[in-house]
Amino acid sequence: MRDIIKAGVTERKDRKPEFNIQIGGSESEMSYALAKSFEMFISQAAKFNDKSFEQTKKDYLEAISVVISTIHDTESK
């Protein structure tokens, strides 16, 4: 098994925490790894919130769209 996604948070006393992510592998490996992590998260969230997988996926995709747009807008300034 190869590591496709590595993520971590670097914390220093004199700075705010920084989120770091490294993605490697082929485009198909990266796509699958990201999709699988989302699928696992959505499955767990559905169980935790006692909702269907489809409803949780819809809610999650709507929320992630807002978050991604906000990040993009903030970093584009």
- Sequential pLDDT tens for the chain (77 residues): 577 788 888 888 888 888 888 888 888 988 888 899 899 999 999 999 999 999 999 999 999 999 999 999 999 98
Full residue range of the structural domain in which residue 12 is found: 5-76
Task: Supply the pLDDT for residue 67.
Answer: 95
Specify the pLDDT at position 1. 59
pLDDT in the model for residue 74: 92
Give the position of tokens 């903030």: 74
Whether this model's pTM surpasses 0.75? no
Domain count of the chain?
1
Measure the CA–CA gap between 22 and 52, rounded to whole angstroms: 32
Beta strands (DSSP E) in 17-64 are 18-23
Identify which of 60, 35, 65, 33 has the alpha carbon closest to the alpha carbon of residue 46.
60
